[in-house]
Amino acid sequence: MRTIQFREAIAEAMSEEMRKDERIYLMGEEVAEYNGAYKASKGMLDEFGEKRVIDTPIAELGFAGVAVGSTMTGCRPIVEYMTFNFCLVGIDQIINNAAKIRQMSGGQFPCPIVFRGPTASAGQLAATHSQAFENWFANTPGLKVIVPSNPYDAKGLLKAAIRDDDPVIFMESEQMYGDKGEVPEEEYVLPIGKAEIKREGKDVTIVSFGKIIKEAYKAADELEKEGISCEVIDLRTVRPMDHKTILDSVKKTNRLVILEEAWPFGNVATEITYQVQSQAFDYLDAPVEKINTADTPAPYSPTLLAEWLPNKDDVIKAVKKVMYQ
């Protein structure tokens, strides 16, 4: 397979789907003339024109509303946020409209829309630009939430999201756009709601998703040298969540560590912990450990940010704790 960047995988997924369906369009800040803030829509204006690749004002509430309303006329929009921190300005359109149109119209109006852009921290961008909202959206009935961690998954899942007749939150990372990975030239689509075991193991299960999963891989490599075998599961889709893959793994390893780049209160890891203790309690040989950011806004200082953000050492410590080492 060829090797391409994460941003290229995103652009390919959108372009391939737009070639097949003229109802699909892309809207957002700097997506057209500038080829995207992170060059994730490079070349799309030239190919599809200004009616289908649309630069917007800095008005997230406005263009989110336009996009949601357009689904009721048969369009299938993709809305790019420069960062999901900015979606808070337009979150009313996502939570109160996109997520509820199908139910409130008695099924007359599906809402086939994708909201995509970067989530969580991306270095020294300070408190209001470093927030992870996956659990916020996953808490909302009517929304699907996808957080890929590599180019292959990103392309296959974004194509599935664009084809879906329900609103999908598709969350990326500024720090992953340059990541490279193998992606087939032929078409493929990955199923929404299916986790993947990225690394087989027998001693402990580590569940993660998004860019922070890289710390789980680093930890697993180091722990392997000490004779501890880690099974690493990439959740990929936060909602709907693949409980079965997690439960089957925990029933094999009898231990669970969850790594998530989010605040500790009421997050995705909390939901996984509940599901495991309610459905696989008798298989657990140790309490579940979850690793999150510190319970504060993200600091700007690089020294404080390094302490705030989970890393491989935190994963190693948690694994050894559930192993009673």
Q: Which residues participate in catalysis according to the annotation?
A: 60, 129
Q: How many CB atoms lie within 10 A of CB 169?
A: 29
What's phi and psi for 244, nearest 5 deg? -60, -45
Helix (H) or strand (E) holding 7: helix 6-20
Cα distances (angstroms) measured from residue 215 to each of 3, 8, 21, 54, 266:
22, 24, 38, 37, 22
Pairing of strands 196-199, 230-234: antiparallel
Q: For residue 216, how far is the Cα from the chain centroid?
A: 16
Kind plus residue range of the DSSP H or E element containing 207 = strand 204-208
Report the C-alpha gap between 286 and 288 in whole angstroms. Answer: 6
> For 29, which DSSP code?
T
Estimate the crossing angle of helix 268-279 against helix 243-253, to 10 degrees.
60
| Alpha-carbon distance values, 183 to 2, 8, 146, 180, 233 (Å) | 6, 10, 18, 9, 20
Task: Using only the alpha carbons of the chain, give its radius of gyration.
Answer: 20
Sequence-distant contacts of 52-58: CB under 8 A, at least 24 apart: 52/18, 52/22, 52/24, 52/25, 52/26, 53/25, 53/26, 54/25, 54/26, 54/27, 54/28, 55/28, 55/29, 55/30, 55/31, 56/27, 56/28, 56/29, 57/29, 58/29
